[in-house]
Every structure is written in C-alpha cells, then in structure tokens.
Chains A and B, each alone.
Chain A
C-alpha cells in the first residue's frame, strides 16, 4: 500500500454530508425489487404444512389426496426431502455446549408450533394452501416445555434425547479474583431479572425464489438473505447427498476441482496459520461427548462441496428489513432448493406473517440472577451472574444462541471498572421458535447491568448519575486491556457521553416536573443507561470470545474501472435498509473525485462479489464495508493517477482530481478524465470492454479501537389511571466516530430506540406454559406506531480515532441502550425495583400498587 496520498476526500466532500438516499429514487416510485416482486413465469408456489402441536411424535402422514388436487405439482413429505439433504451441523462449538443436529424438515418428531412436516408445490399459493388442508397427519402429543423453569426442571419430556434434560449448554467464565473481591466488599446485592421473548419482525417476511436452469440444472436463488455467500455454501453443502463414496470418487475424477480445492486450502492455511493454531478443541470435545454424528454431518457437507462443480448462485436484491432475522439459513431455504432440484422446476416460497411470527426469528427470553459486590461509597468491585437463555427448539445456523453467551462473557461488566467477573450461563431447549441474533444480540447484558446499577444506587442512597460517574472507566486509564480481554480505546469513551448527557439534563426542572406529574395523577421518572459496543471491535475482540474465531471476519473488496471509464465497486455486504448504496457512493466518490452518480455499487450477487461469512450484520457496514470501499478506491485512484501523470507529462504527486477532472494542481483547463485514461489503457491493451484497472483487497479492519459508545436518558410519564405511558423526552448521546451521512445515522439510532420502546411497553412474543404461541398476528404482537414513538433527541460526539477509517457501526446501539433507560425511568417514577423488561399498562399499574398482581 505504497503511493497512497494522505487524503480522504476530494474537493466535493460527500462524506459527512446529509446526502439524499440513492435507494429512494427507486423505492419512492414503487420500483424496488424485493424477492416477492420477482414472481417468474411458471414458478411453482410453495406452502409448508406446519405442526399445530408444540411437541409431538408423528405416527403417519398421508399426502395422496393433496397430491391429487388439480393445480398441485408435487407434495413432498419431510422424509422425502430429508433423504436428499444433510443435517445442519453445529458451526460454533463452545466448551460446555451441545448443539443438536437437525434436518430441513421434521419427519419423526415436531418440536414447536410451526415445525414444517410437508411441502406443497402448486400453480398458485392459493391452491398450495388448499392442498395443505388435505394432508392427513397423525400426531401423538408429548409434554411440551414452554418456560425456562420447566426447561430447568428434571424429569420432563426431552426435546433432544442426548441432552441433559432440556439443558443444552452450561458455559462458565471468570475473570479476576472473584472469591476475594466478593469476600472483601462491604456488601453484596443480588436481584433476578427476567426478559420475555421478543421477535425481530421486519416488515418484509422471509422469501426464496429458486430458479432452475433447464439446460444445466444450475440453481439461481433469489433470497432475502443478509449473508448470501453463506447461504450459497450452505445450500451447496446441505443439498448434495449422493453418498460419501460416490461424492469422493466424483471429486477424485475431477482434476480441475481437485486443483482448485488444494490451492484454496493451501491459501487458507497459510493465511490463517496462527489463528488455526489458536483454535481451542474444547468446544468440539463437548459436542463429541454428547453426539459424534456432527463429524459425519460435517464430512458429508464437505464431501458435497468437494463433489460439485456447480454451486448455486445466490442473489439478494432489495430486502425489507431483517434486524438479524435474515442472517440465518432457514430450514425452508434448504427444503425449497432440494425440491427445486428434485423437480427441475423453479419454485418460490414467500413466507406469510403468521409463519414469520411462528419461526421467522425470536430472541431475548433470558433470566439473570446478578450479584454485585460493592463498597458502601458506591465503588463497584465484582459481578457474578447466573444466566439462562431460552434457545427455543432448533439452533439457528450458523449464528446460534451460543454466540450471545460468548458476547455476554465479553460485555457484561460494561464500561465500568469491575475487578472481578464470573458468568455461569445455561442454554435451555424449549418448544418454541428458533432464537436468532436480534439487533445487539447480547443487549440484555446492558439492560440487566444498568438496571442493577440503579438498584445498588438506591440501596446505597446515592444517585443513578453518581454511581455511573464514580465507576465508569475514564480515558486517562486507557488504552487498557478490559477485564474480559478486549482492548479499550481512549479515543472512544463512554465517560464522555455520560458527562455530556448529564450536562443536558436540568435536574432541578426534573423535580418540578415530577411534582407536576404527581399533581395530575401521573408519575414521572428519569432513567440512564450507558454502554460500549464492539462495532466492529478492536482487533482482539472476537479472539477474546473464542480464540481464532476472527478467521472468517475480514471484509473483502473489489473495485474496477471499465474500458469505458465506468467505476464499479463491489461489496460483500447485503443491505436491507441501511442505505449502503448511498454511503458507499459517498465514500468512493470522494476518493475518486467524481460525482456520486459516476460510481456503480454492486451487491448481493455471489457471482460478482467476494465471499463474506456474515454479510451485513454485527455493525460492520460502516467501519468494514465502507472502509474497504475507501481503501480499494484509493488504490485504484492511485493507479489511474500514475497513467494520467504520464499522459499529462507531470509528476503523480502534482495530480488532483476535482469533479472528475484529472489535472495538474492549478491547471484545471488542461485536464483529462477517467474515461480518457481508461480509453488509453484499453487501447494500449487492445481491449474494448471489461475492466482496465482492477483492485482487490482483504481488509482486516479498522485501527485501534472499534468501539461505539453511548449514553441514553429517558423520561417516562405514567398515567396511574390507565397505565398508559408517554415519553416526554428521550436523549441519546452517542459516539460512532465521524459520520458518513447524518441523515442515515440518525435514522439508525431512532429506529433502534423505537424497537427498545416496543420491547418495554408493547411487544411480547407470548407463549403459554404449554408452548402454544398466543401472539400469531399483529393484533397480538404490538409493534409501536407513530403515536407511541416520540421524537428522539440525538447528540453526536464524532471523536476521531487513530485508525485509518474512523467510522464505527451504529445500527445496533439504539436497541442496546433503550430498554435499560426506559425501565430505569419506570423504576424512578414508581419508586419500586423493576425486575422485568416488559411493562404493559396492567403491569405498570401492578407495580404502582393500583391493581393487585
């Protein structure tokens, strides 16, 4: 990376501006291309028959009447599709964890309401749903597990035969001298906190359109995937199931494939030598103790990948939100691809909302018993947490609930100077829909910790502000290795956001407002929460969670200038509302010194973009995705400048590019253009199309810190007559580094806070004790409207760091901070300990003592 001029922006300076969204040019006129809009001619429409029981064995299934219905092309039973697909193997294995393997359909046993047992393909979705009603299934109902208490209780019906009851994981970690710290502290305060189930609920459901090439059988899968490359590999590995011997012999006879494989394997090993050595086999050993079959499943998957030359192409177009729920490979994705391959016909599944509520992704049903060792002056010393995570029936693939526990391990002490921390976390299986990452998947650690700080403050009779100010880690003590491992960076300081947020509160006025509220029969309270989040984290973040786990986490980039001068940038991200196209054009246009419309951004197509394990998620789009855009653009610009300097007979150091005019500084009238330079190179190389300049890069990440930090303060007003709440003010002071586009960043912050408001006051994904889902429509699962979400006041700090690319992720933070600030405000308003996250009107009135619980 020599010859890179020390400049980040051209004269145009799009970065930092509130540039209007490029995406809106198609969305606002109804020309977005969402997966359901594709509807190719002749496609067969899928409908899944889903279990009406939470837990049952299947005695028999008869699809003959359904298959005979006019318009039905085929009905697949679970057994038929399972026979041609491999098991989903565990990919994240952790010491103390057992991850049960499962297939794309359920043939012997169903484990939650909505578990798929048959697949109908018909001329229309209407006919497919008619056919569902003609399938006869005989179930034998089993005792279902619907609560964390039931899952922990011995002697109940097990979801998975090899588990210890319904406990799948028992994961522990400790840092510092926990025993001594707890023994020496003035007191230990303990509380138990509960968070009920929530669901991500993007406005667009999941969907997959599998187009089969009639000549070659190649699959082109249009999918709502946040991670199209991972889906491609998953389909390739889970679909091919011809038997190990046949696969191996096919691989052995295929010289090109063999060569390509050995080259790729060599390159991978040499790039990741150190990280491979760091791998800890403890997780595999834990899994092997329970079930060796994952080795066979992984081997079959690998065989499938080796045997095939023809991996599917996955394309993700416009995606209507996800919030983490579309990062997993759905069982339906695999069933559908298998069905398309069996039939040789294009098929599509557009999930309906009831299906999405049943199994489109659920989260956050967790319990924490936390003990804080504190001194009487408010000094926080030690934290011990017993946590239980309700993982539902099936582990999401590849990022399972276990990853949340790994992140808890790193995050729980938060931005405070604890000297010791111990976590004992259990993951339990229940007869509920699958748990997926949901916007800040670990976020309940912030809720639990920040709620607990207020409990401690109250018990010690100090203020919520003072206990935070006293214990927050200040920048003068950084950079420092944080208690749990990752490096904390002095340039991104939670303390600064806390100081600033508190400055923006008039506490005298608050007392007057509280009195006024009380006079009206209301109660007003204020709540604070502070947190830091790895966005994407310092270089040692993921390896602190699991050694070597950062192996797949680099973000690759590619950029080209075509023979006609067009600049084409390829991203491995899969945007679904975050406005990547706009921000990446801003970043690249500044580097190239051209207008935004001169840049083309290519995304979502696995044939054109580079591999990415995660795609869009984990707050990577700004720091890593835009970071690699910037760096590839800079390299490419540099290549162009070299040629242009020759053409202009000048030194390349003297070249500047303004509005696409490449010229010697001060002589804009004698300039050239990208098109001219590209034409010259094309002519020199005797080509007329294709790229004439090309840059590819593996990008390991941002500079020294990688943290986003924030403090939220919420004012909550509760009407004691109705239990209704108003949020008269909500303040976010956040630091995600320099902002690429304030319009977009503000939207991310507000959207996250809105989901937090939903979680606390409106949304509960409600299963009864027998694991029957009660919230199967939007009449039951209440997503807040414009009436419930207030104006969110946002103050940005925009601290520059020492990194090459200063932008930090900002997508998840709103949702991380909001539940804590809101429940703290309720606690302040009502003067009671609030030990649960969900506070609908009746619960507020119970807490206020107006009605009895």
Chain B
C-alpha cells in the first residue's frame, strides 16, 4: 500500500486500483474521502455501515488484505492496491450464506442489525486466526465492535455456532470475497 504524495486541490481526484469482493476496480476518488465513503458512495456497497466515524463502534469494519480494519479511519486512496472484502462479498456466488452468516442466522444474533457488517468481519478474522476460541477469547475478539441491542450473548452464540458449522465444512472458513 502506498500513500499518494501529491497534494490535490479540492474536487480533484486520484486514480486508485482496488480489489473489492474479488473484482479489481479502477476508481477516481477524492483524496480526502474516507474508505468507508468510497465503499458506500463510489461503489454503492451500502452494507458497510457508519456508526461513529471515529473508530470506536466498529460497524464499518471491513477486511483489508485480510485484516479487519475500520473503513472510517482510512482514506480511500490508502486502499490503492489493496484487497477489500465487505459484507456483500461473504455469500457464495450461488447465494448461499457464508458459514458465519448462516450461524448468525441460526443463533438469531442481531436485532436492528446496524452493527452486523462489523461483527461478521471481526468474527471471520477471529475464527480464521483461532478456529476454536474459548468464550472469553470470543468476547475479547468481538470487543472492538459495539452492539446496543442484544447484550452480546446471541452474537457469542452465533460465533459458537459458526465454529461448529465451519468444523463440519470441509472448505473451512475460506474463501471469502470470490469475484461475483
């Protein structure tokens, strides 16, 4: 990832290449636009939500080169050359849900679901790095995401359901972000 060095006057754009959910996109983005705004407005993927825009609530969490990242704390131009996965990139091409989505469905994890995209991304990263976390590890792994509705138990249940689903799935947790 490289930072564009040129300063640009207001309204001017910089060209970036970014892979989003498996598709390579060439975009002209305003240098000051956040990655979240680029995703939501320039690419029209509105599944990534903005809850606080200062990096605490985690609703805008995406996978950037595989790592959960706050899309509100990055500029779009910083994603030049990166691989981005959003909630829209999780389901398989045939429409079946990713095991983490399926598990959250089974566990009735969410209520208003505004926080959902962030929790899905954090869960995927957590289970990729630690396929069988303890309850404490799950709670710690999700502690960068705020939910105001559920009291978290149903989300923890969802992660535990996902662990079982993934263990019974020969493909494991990957891949996410196949081209659509």
Contact = CB atoms under 8 A, between A and B. Distances in A.
A576 B33 CA distance: 29
A593 to B, nearest CB: 25
A203 B156 contact: no
Given A29-B90, A577-B113, A789-B152, A353 B108 contact: no
Interface string B125-147: 00000000000001110111111
Interface string B44-68: 0111111111101101000000000
Contact of B112 (A30, A319, A755): A319
A34 interface: yes
Contact of B151 (A25, A352, A754): A754
B31 to A, nearest CB: 11
Contacts of A792: 151, 153
Contacts of A578: 111
A785 to B, nearest CB: 4
Nearest to B32: A126
Given A202-B112, A202-B114, A785 B151 contact: no
Contact of A201 (B48, B113, B148, B154): B148
A747 B112 CA distance: 11
Interface stretch (A15-23, A170-178, A369-377): A15-23
Where chain A touches its partner, the secondary structure class is: loop
A82 B99 CA distance: 53
A778 B72 CA distance: 14
Interface in A813-853: 814
Nearest to A201: B148
A779 interface: yes
B85 to A, nearest CB: 11
B26 interface: no
B105 A28 contact: yes
Contacts of B163: none
Contacts of A783: 57, 146, 148
A779 B53 CA distance: 12
B143 A786 contact: yes
Nearest to A350: B50
A27 B59 CA distance: 13
With most chain A CB atoms within 10 A of its CB, the pick from B30, B45, B90, B150 is B150
Query: From DSSP, what is the main secondary structure of chain B's interface residues?
Result: loop
Contact of B110 (A24, A319, A323, A352): A24
Contacts of A791: 153
Nearest to B156: A786
A320 interface: yes
Contacts of A785: 139, 142-146, 152
B19 interface: no
A168 to B, nearest CB: 30
B11 interface: yes
A28 B101 contact: yes
Contacts of A778: 52, 54, 56-57, 146
Contacts of B46: 30, 34, 36-37, 39
Given A751-B150, A778-B146, A29 B156 contact: no
Contacts of B147: 203, 786
Given A24-B113, A577-B111, A789-B151, A29 B101 contact: yes
Contacts of A202: 112, 114, 148
Interface string A125-136: 011001000000
Contacts of B51: 203-205, 320, 353
B79 interface: no
Nearest to B45: A30
Interface in B58-96: 59, 86-88, 90-91
Contacts of A353: 51-54, 57
Nearest to A321: B112
A203 B47 contact: no
A21 B108 contact: yes
A778 B156 CA distance: 22
A785 B116 CA distance: 14
A753 interface: yes
A354 to B, nearest CB: 8
> By CB atoms of chain B within 10 A, which of A70, A319, A785 has the most?
A785
A11 interface: no
A744 interface: yes
Contact of B97 (A29, A127, A744, A777): A29
B115 A203 contact: yes
Nearest to B147: A203
A750 interface: yes
B151 A750 contact: yes
Given A750-B153, A787-B139, A321 B41 contact: no
Nearest to A755: B148
A20 B150 CA distance: 15
Contacts of B142: 785-786
B25 interface: no
Contact of B54 (A24, A36, A576, A777): A777
Nearest to B109: A24
Interface centre among B33, B45, B111, B117 (most CB of A within 10 A): B111
A89 B110 CA distance: 38
A579 interface: yes
B139 to A, nearest CB: 4
6 contacts: A28-B113, A70-B10, A203-B147, A204-B49, A750-B150, A754-B150
What 9 A-B pairs come out closest when comparing CB atoms? A30-B47, A320-B114, A577-B112, A750-B151, A754-B151, A27-B113, A778-B56, A30-B87, A37-B46
Given A577-B112, A786-B155, A791-B153, 13 more contacts: A23-B113, A28-B116, A29-B101, A30-B88, A30-B90, A70-B10, A70-B11, A203-B147, A747-B108, A750-B154, A751-B151, A755-B148, A777-B54
